[in-house]
Amino acid sequence: MKKKPMTNKLNIPRHVAIIMDGNGRWAEARNLERVEGHAEGARAVRETVETAARNGIEYLTLYAFSAANWARPRREVEALMRLLVDFAKKERSELRSLGIRVNVIGQLEELPTGTRHAVEDLIRYTADGSKMTLTLALSYGGRQDIVEAARALAVRARAGLVLPEEIDESFFHREMTTRSLPDVDLLIRTGGETRVSDFLLYESAYAELVFLPIMWPEFVPQTLLDAVELYSRRERRFGRTSAQVVRGEHAAFDPLDPVREAPAP
């Protein structure tokens, strides 16, 4: 379904991340199985991805399955894994034609083989996309990602391959599974809860947060456009005063930016 792109006057966030919460409650409120809520959630994913790409968002990151979600009933986990396979198979042509490159953060190797292969195929199939990067967070935990990076650096430091004084914020970020993503600009959560639930902890340091009372299956293209408009009206100060922002003074530091940053030697 085609929507008119937003006007150029809006400040479009470069990186939007979404915690897609409320599938289960949406289903339960309709006397449906929770898995039917996830299926409806997958429809909202398709529309949101297309809307983001058509409106100039360069990076969209979706919390599709957290490291903590393995604790859910087996039937629900299996249904989510099947939905991912369906998405990977049915949407790949559309994603490629929209110029969308698919990327994954988290522990892809933890996924069942069939799901992992379908997602890996999708990554390969869309590798040339240059309009938007769609990142699926799968078996992802923000703390876990930070700890893994710290451990990898400790191993390299012990081997004498890295000096402790070389480790700064961007150096550290290059060890994380989010290394190819810039800082999050806008973090949206549906479902009425006001927490970040271990999502992109390092990368959302200066993100604008938008919490919505609606359930994820109720998220439609206009909801994304409204959230972008809300973002557009906020003043991002990055530690500066409002007067400095108005004068156009630069922040004392740059947010993580793997695109503009020189690669590690």
Catalytic amino acids?
21, 69
What are the backbone dihedrals phi and psi of residue 9, each rounded to the nearest 5 degrees, phi first?
A: -70, -25
CA dist., res. 16 & res. 187, Å (int): 6
| Contacting range for ligand FPP; rule: CB under 6 A; set: 18-26, 93-101, 139-147, 239-247 | 18-26
Among 17, 79, 83, 102, binds ligand FPP (CB under 6 A): 83
Nearer to ligand FPP by Cβ, of 39 and 256: the residue is 39
Q: Is-contact 57 14, C-beta < 8 A?
A: yes
Q: Does 41 bind ligand FPP (CB under 6 A)?
A: yes
Among 18, 52, 84, 228, binds ligand FPP (CB under 6 A): 84
Q: Determine the size of the site formed for ligand FPP (CB under 6 A).
A: 20
Q: Does 58 bind ligand FPP (CB under 6 A)?
A: no
Among 69, 107, 180, 232, binds ligand FPP (CB under 6 A): 69
Nearer to ligand FPP by Cβ, of 76 and 261: the residue is 76
Dihedral angle over CA of 189, 195, 200, 202, nearest 10: 140
Residue nearest to ligand FPP (CB): 24
Q: Is the dihedral of CA 105, 214, 216, 109 positive or negative?
A: positive
Q: Which residues pair with 229 in a beta bridge?
A: none
Site string for ligand FPP, 190-229 (x = CB under 6 A): -x------------------------x-------------
Q: Does 20 bind ligand FPP (CB under 6 A)?
A: yes
CA dist., res. 40 & res. 244, Å (int): 45
Q: Is-contact 124 77, C-beta < 8 A?
A: no
Q: Is-contact 102 63, C-beta < 8 A?
A: no
Instruction: Determine the distance from the C-alpha atom of residue 71 to the mean position of all C-alpha atoms in its chain, rounded to a whole number.
Output: 22
| Contacting range for ligand FPP; rule: CB under 6 A; set: 37-45, 144-152, 197-205, 242-250 | 37-45
Q: Is-contact 59 14, C-beta < 8 A?
A: yes
Q: Does 95 bind ligand FPP (CB under 6 A)?
A: no
Alpha helices in 159-262 (DSSP H): 169-173, 221-232, 242-247
Q: Does 6 bind ligand FPP (CB under 6 A)?
A: no
Smallest gap from Cβ 62 to ligand FPP, in A, equals 6
Q: Does 21 bind ligand FPP (CB under 6 A)?
A: yes
- Identify residue 193 by its one-letter amino acid code: E
Smallest gap from Cβ 86 to ligand FPP, in A, equals 7
Strand locations in the chain (E): 15-19, 59-66, 100-106, 132-140, 186-189, 208-211
Smallest gap from Cβ 191 to ligand FPP, in A, equals 5
CA dist., res. 40 & res. 44, Å (int): 7
Residues that bind ligand FPP (CB under 6 A): 20-25, 38, 41-42, 45, 62, 64, 69, 80, 83-84, 87, 136, 191, 216
